[in-house]
Structure 1
Amino acid sequence: MIENHDNELEKVILVGCQLQNDDDIRFQYSLDELQSLTKTAKGQVVMTVTQKREKRHGATYIGKGKVEELSALEKELDADVLIFNDELSPSQIRNLSSFFDARVIDRTQLILDIFASRANSKEGKLQVELAQLQYLLPRLGGKGIELSRLGAGIGTRGPGETKLETDRRHINRRIDDIKTQLEVIVQHRERYRERRKKNNTYQIALVGYTNAGKSTLFNRLTEAESFEENLLFATLDPMTRKMIMPCGLTTLLTDTVGFIQDLPTTLIAAFRSTLEEVKEADLILHVVDASNPDYFNHEQTVYKLLKELEVDSIPMLTLYNKKDKVLPDFVPSAQHDSILVSAFVPEDLLGVKTHIEDIMKEEMNEYKVTIPNTEGKILASLKQDTILKELKYNEETDMYECNGFIIPSHTLTGQLRDYQKGETGHNV
């Protein structure tokens, strides 16, 4: 891995085209994000070039005069890479590449490159390779994509161990092969999910815009060791860990890949199986970086992608993270229940879990039962698999009086009916 010293980083010029109806602030946020993506890919931004136009130039994205200006800057700054802030068409890449010695890549290729460097699991690597191949296929030939250069520098990492050839049939065969391998992995994941469902474990999914702090919250809520860093797409492969609630109930928490505006369609399709974890969740924790000036649009991006995944009907709790750095004009805009937290404040983490418990109770049945003191196994299950509000030993009856909430479909429900105490509208 390249160490973070300026003289070892590739020199990058960013290029953006602002259409007349594009909001100035939103356009600037987009360029700032492109700069963050470049930093994540181990690049050093030496210049940002922008142009306002009625529409993007069909052949070269920006106008001829701006191309000439960019060519002079490339030579003056000795740039290694030119990164354009939109997805370029195959012809645009070919045309632009003929003007420059530096590599020409677009936002999509940059994101794919970062994903290639982040994937650790076999599934993640296959998904990235599939997305890269689908992106590269229509761009084969010409100077636009020099496949022989793959493996050295930003926009050239991956796509995995297989060395791409220019033969389209070879690439199509590789795409078919990857899809077959992914189908096997997806089937395995589905069996694993079915097993978890049979165990009646409450499942929670962490979602949010990239770099919102999901992995940091995940680590502190579960005491796991997921990779966390102030970089975009720090987490790529989903990770599931046990999370113990204040009442003692064991739940499962899954950390997912971060969303981003203008996420390449090939990546949305490729990572759909990974995001299937969200579909199986009983609750979605939506993490939002409250310190980011563009937090509202980040929220909307997540809502849009969740709708595409058809999971927008699952109960959601929004966690506005990084409250210690919150903006003065911050106003919660969540469409659902929300709380302001910091991942580094233990009281806030306890508050998150308590809030989750309250949401869980709304979906559960209340029970009031008396259990003989000889039934230690059932008593232990009540502590681990239900929200046990009260556990009191009655010396006169030599029984435990238990009061709490249970998932209606849980196997314990039938056993508790045998020990039913009293009748209430929501009792087991």
Structure 2
Amino acid sequence: MIGPYQSDRARLARAAAAQGQPGASSIGVVLRENAARLEEAVGLAAAIDLTIVASMIATVSEVRPATWFGKGKIAELAQIIADEHISLVVMDCALSPVQQRNLERELRCKVIDRTGLILEIFGRRAHTREGALQVELAHLEYQRSRLVRSWTHLERQRGGFGFLGGPGETQIEADRRQIRDRMARIQRDLDQVRRTRSLHRQNRKRAPWPTVALVGYTNAGKSTLFNRLTRAQVMAEDMLFATLDPTARLVELPRGARAILSDTVGFISELPTMLVAAFRATLEDVIEADIILHVRDISHEDSAAQAADVTAIMAELGVGAQETARIIEVWNKADLLSPDERQRLETLAANQPEAERPVLVSGETGEGVDRLLAAIEDRMAGRRAVYRITLDPSRGADISWLHEEAEVLDRRMDEDGQMVMAVRIAAEKEPRLLRRINNARLIRGAAAPAPRHEGEASASEEEVRRKGDLKPWRGGQSA
């Protein structure tokens, strides 16, 4: 395992150029430690049961277009490979096809880069047909550019048809054509998958339950937290990319409401662009979610850099960091923190604005999960309007519709024998509500919820009771 990392100065300059900044010193970039980057790469290799004979960091000031390294480093690596009888070299970077071919020639063994390693992991972990198609599409896109590495037999020509068919196509052209054809078939299948998932999302929107999506760096503990919140049994192990196939379950919120919680594939630094494109059908669940839980391994030394990588990928998907109204940052693995570090993080979280305040939890022990569920419910309340409705009890169809399509916060009988209800409803269902029930009166529009203390009713609930003329429940008054 080789970590061919550029110097910090070169990385800062590259980041500055990518963001259009005039100088590297003026840019606020979180640089990951090279040792942590190499440790992550070793973890990726271990995820597909590769035996790591040797691992090393090879810092370069300037990347060579032919072989990445200079001649001296190439000779040093070739000697180590020969002495240790190494059959595979993993380069923790993105190699061009020419660099990969030249390195294999100079080092006299097979070489794969970070993209190829991640694709291999995804290929082994995807179990559903959808996941397998997405991985195969990304792999073919990657492989198409690397046919240049193949042996000389790919330059042989096939004869044309008949007597005047000409020399025909070379073998490499035939292979590229087969890859293009296969990619086109997979893309058609994935388009059908996308339509199917879109129908599923539409069906979920017709239900009264909002959607919550878990996102985060790989191995941040998303699946463990998912199991804790939903009492499910999805695969949750201490390894990179343990979850590839998305899973959705109902979760109960503190005041009786429900939400659909979705577990998604983890992100990683330098995630291959073809994987982001191939998994877009799956990641659309994140784009469409009412609430996004950004799960961070707060005990990891590179937690800040990992969070920056996740934010960058979410920006590629169209979810900007400015959408704080639907993003809750979850600081996971609190059980691994020292008492001093826990106190520091709790103080740091408490000093942040309510709309951006993270929640410190442990998916392993369940610590902080109640606070997280309450934060989800409060954030949901802020994104949905509340209406006061008066109905005759004989209108059973309308009452049933409200229970199915909206969240009924309160229901009472007034002195005239009319049913008075306070309901919270999603924005896309408001027009149907107003068409169906003409006396619906807005109590509170969609806005950020006011702060609440643990064990107390939220300010939005008190506002509903006050503006809706609804008194606290007493026995015998509930309809």
TM-score range, shorter chain: 0.7 to 0.9
Report SS of the residue matched to 2:182: helix
Max Rg structure: 2
Q: How many residues are aligned here?
A: 398
Q: Tell me which of 216, 220, 225 is aligned to 2:233.
A: 225
In structure 1, the partner of 2:139 is 132
In structure 2, the partner of 1:67 is 74
Q: Tell me which amino acid in the other structure corresponds to 2:221.
A: G
| Counterpart-to-counterpart distance in 2, 1:190 and 1:184 | 10
> 2:18 matched to 1:18?
no
CA contact (8 A) 1:136 1:145 kept: no
> 2:328 matched to 1:321?
no
| Counterpart-to-counterpart distance in 2, 1:247 and 1:380 | 20
In structure 2, the partner of 1:360 is 380
Superposition deviation, residue 293 in structure 1: 0.9
CA contact (8 A) 2:98 2:149 kept: no
Superposition deviation, residue 19 in structure 1: 2.8
CA contact (8 A) 2:296 2:330 kept: yes
Superposition deviation, residue 253 in structure 1: 1.3
CA contact (8 A) 1:90 1:138 kept: yes
> 2:40 matched to 1:33?
yes
| Counterpart-to-counterpart distance in 2, 1:290 and 1:145 | 51
> 2:209 matched to 1:198?
no
CA contact (8 A) 1:140 1:166 kept: no
| Counterpart-to-counterpart distance in 2, 1:30 and 1:144 | 33
Higher helix share: 2
Q: Call closer, same or farther: CA 1:381–1:352 in 2, change over 3 Å.
A: farther
TM-score, L = length of structure 2:
0.74
In structure 2, the partner of 1:289 is 297
In structure 1, the partner of 2:316 is 308
| Counterpart-to-counterpart distance in 2, 1:120 and 1:114 | 12
> 2:95 matched to 1:88?
yes
Report SS of the residue matched to 1:43: coil
Show CA shifts across 1:281-310 (max 9, x none).
111111111111111111111111111111
Q: Tell me which amino acid in the other structure corresponds to 2:224.
A: T
TM-score, L = length of structure 1:
0.82
Show CA shifts across 1:377-401 (max 9, x none).
877776776555445677x776766
Identity level (%): 34
| Counterpart-to-counterpart distance in 1, 2:5 and 2:368 | 42
CA contact (8 A) 1:372 1:399 kept: yes
| Counterpart-to-counterpart distance in 2, 1:278 and 1:145 | 45
Report SS of the residue matched to 1:99: helix
| Counterpart-to-counterpart distance in 2, 1:383 and 1:39 | 50
> 2:227 matched to 1:239?
no
Unaligned runs of 5+ in 1: 1-12, 148-163
CA contact (8 A) 1:393 1:400 kept: yes
Unaligned runs of 5+ in 2: 13-30, 155-171, 446-466, 469-479
Report SS of the residue matched to 1:318: strand
Q: Call closer, same or farther: CA 1:25–1:260 in 2, change over 3 Å.
A: closer
Q: Tell me which amino acid in the other structure corresponds to 1:349.
A: V
| Counterpart-to-counterpart distance in 2, 1:424 and 1:141 | 66
> 2:275 matched to 1:256?
no
Q: Tell me which of 425, 432, 440 is aligned to 1:406.
A: 425
Q: Which moved more, 1:24-33 or 1:402-411?
A: 402-411
Q: Call closer, same or farther: CA 1:247–1:347 in 2, change over 3 Å.
A: farther
Superposition deviation, residue 250 in structure 1: 2.6
| Counterpart-to-counterpart distance in 2, 1:83 and 1:132 | 17
Report SS of the residue matched to 1:212: coil
RMSD: 3.3
CA contact (8 A) 2:385 2:442 kept: no
Q: Call closer, same or farther: CA 1:380–1:225 in 2, change over 3 Å.
A: farther
Superposition deviation, residue 403 in structure 1: 4.2
Report SS of the residue matched to 1:62: coil
Q: Call closer, same or farther: CA 1:66–1:249 in 2, change over 3 Å.
A: same
CA contact (8 A) 1:210 1:232 kept: yes
